Structure formats: C-alpha cells, structure tokens
Structure 1
Amino acid sequence: MKTLLRPALSLFVLLSVITGLAYPLLVTGIAKTTFPVEAGGSLIVKDGKTIGSRLIGQNFSDPRYFWGRPSATTPMPYNASASGGSNLGPLNPALMDVVKGRIDTLRAADPGNTLPIPADLVTASASGLDPHIGIAAAAYQAGRIARVRGIELAVVEGLVAQYTESRQWGIFGEPRVNVLALNLALDGLR
C-alpha cells in the first residue's frame, strides 16, 4: 500500500503545483505583458478615479445620458457577480409586463419621439451586463439628449458616430456604441 500511495501523492502535489500555480502565473504574466488593459479589466479611469469598465454596463436613468440595455441581474443592475439572463421566454407574461414598463419609461422621457423603440432598449442581454447599444438605440435617444442638454442634434449624432465600434474582427456582431464611453464624451463637451 505504501508503495502505491507515495507515487500517487507525489504526482498529485506535482500536478497541483503545475496546474494550480505555475500555469496560471504564466498565463497571467503573458496576458499582462501582451494585453495590459484587457487583462486589467478594461477599466475606464478619469482624473485618477476608476469610473467603470468597457466590458460591463452601468445604470443610467438621467435623461441627459444615453441609457444602456436593461440589466437582468438582481437585486442590483449590472452586478457582475449575478451575471445571467432573466430566463423569461418570449410568451411569458412577466416578460411582456417588464418590456411594457420599459416602453412606458422611454415614452415618458421623450414623449415627442415617434421612432420605433429598438429591442435592445427594452430587453436584457443574455449576460445582463451588456455595455453596448445598437446604432438604432443610440439614434432613438439622440433627440432627447440634445433637447435636455440644450445642444444641437448634429453634435450628439457626431459623438454617436465617433464612438461607434465596428463588428468584432470585421465579421461578428453588429456595429455598436459603448454607453459609458459615449456618456463620458457627452460630459466632456463644453
């Protein structure tokens, strides 16, 4: 028994050190050297203070700002430790009620807007943390933001165009706008 236990324990300790310590340290070191911003969480820092991440949405409800895609995380919106979808199917009455409430909120914030409301403004993403909205969702909100901030619509539309990100690697997904980056640019206007 002793002759079997010693090699098994030695192999267990060796593999634990390799897979639990050496490999993670090597991969982390390569990531921090090659992609330092991404490995650090793609944080957005302004005046020495971390404001958020380019990878996780934030809750904006002030009409002066672009609103992101709704979060499915509870009890706090955009809570990365509670990432996950709502699991409500398209025919679920609870989903219908939530979407109707979001539509009412959007209409109340901008009653003169007759554009169709894009789906990404009323439905959560699969993770519940999406930091992006589509071009149509940004265009839908541009008039409200220009009116509330007292700036020309062309200025807001120019910022949307400037902060539009193309498809991932040119083929995956759709063009999109990072809401936090766009709202920071709005705050930076004189």
Structure 2
Amino acid sequence: MNQDSFIRSLRGELKGLDPHEIEDIVADYCEYFRDGIASGRTEEDIASSLGNPRHLVRELRAESSIKQWEERKSGGNFVRMLGALVGLGFLNLILLGPVLAIITVLFALFVASIALLIAGVAALLVAAPGSGLDQLVTINLPDLDMSSEDSAAFVGLILVFVGSAWTILNYYLSKWTGTLLIKYARLNFQLIKGTA
C-alpha cells in the first residue's frame, strides 16, 4: 500500500467525524509519510509500519471517546466510551472479554436498581388510601402482614430507599469502572504499538 491508497483508506474510515478533525488526522499522517520518505524509507514500508487504517481509526475513536469521558463524566460519554472500547476489543480479544463482562454486570445492576424503584413506587401506590389498587395487587412476604396499608407503605419506602441508594452506588461504580477501563485500554494501546 502506498501513501495515496493509505490516505484514501484512512479518510474512508474517518467518515462521520468532524471534518476539521479528519483534516488534522490526515495532515498528521501525511507529515509522517513526508518525514519517512525524507529519511529514505519507501511509502510501502511506512504504510506497513503504520498498520491497517481501519485499526488505526478504531484506536483513534476509542482514544477520543476516552478523552471525552475524562473531560465530562456523563452517562452518554460513558456509553460512547464503552462502545468504542467494544469496537476496539474486536481487534484486541484481550480487551473484549473484560469489557463485555463489565458492561453486562453494570447493566444488570442498573436494571436491578430500577426494578427496586418501580417495586417501591408500586407498593406506595397500593398503600395509598382509596386507590383501589390493593384489590389488584397483593404483596406477600413471609412473616409480615401486608394486609394493612401501613405495612405496604413501609415496604414501599424501604424499596424506594434501597433502589435510590443502589442507583447512586451504580453511578459511582460506573465512574470508577470507567477510570479502570481507560487505564486498561491505554495499556493495551501501548502493548499493540509495542511501547509498553
């Protein structure tokens, strides 16, 4: 692969990014080719040392997502970072397994916390005087008389409290996990490039 075909392939893989960012990335690789040619290397040798443009772009996207999450730790940036790491993981199977396991555990914890919140709200609604929902929904817990509205309200409050606490814990666990994933991904980038 020569410089033209490498740059053309790189541009194709960069579609969807900001046009200014694409031009910056392409300019960096053109400069790398210029420096290599000036030092006596062939275009094919330089392209070969750079690797597959598709793999390079996946690494660039993952690194960009990581930086966005580090700058602003929001839920959307976390999901984008995980998606980029999963995409990179298909290239690096060492990274893929742990990332998928972490995503699965975080998702299960999130679903469980939402289920607790919903169950708590439902119990509070059943306990509301005159709601009539106590005829539709029954709550049976061993050794606890749930026939009174007070008991249903008590259980509802406990479930809402536990679900809220669990949701907050999931938030901090996700932030901590994101930080560890970034360190793990960067170590893998270094191993792939041979700089570790």
TM-score, structure 2 length as denominator?
Answer: 0.24
TM-score, structure 1 length as denominator?
Answer: 0.24
Structure with more strand by fraction: 1
Q: Which has the larger radius of gyration?
A: 2
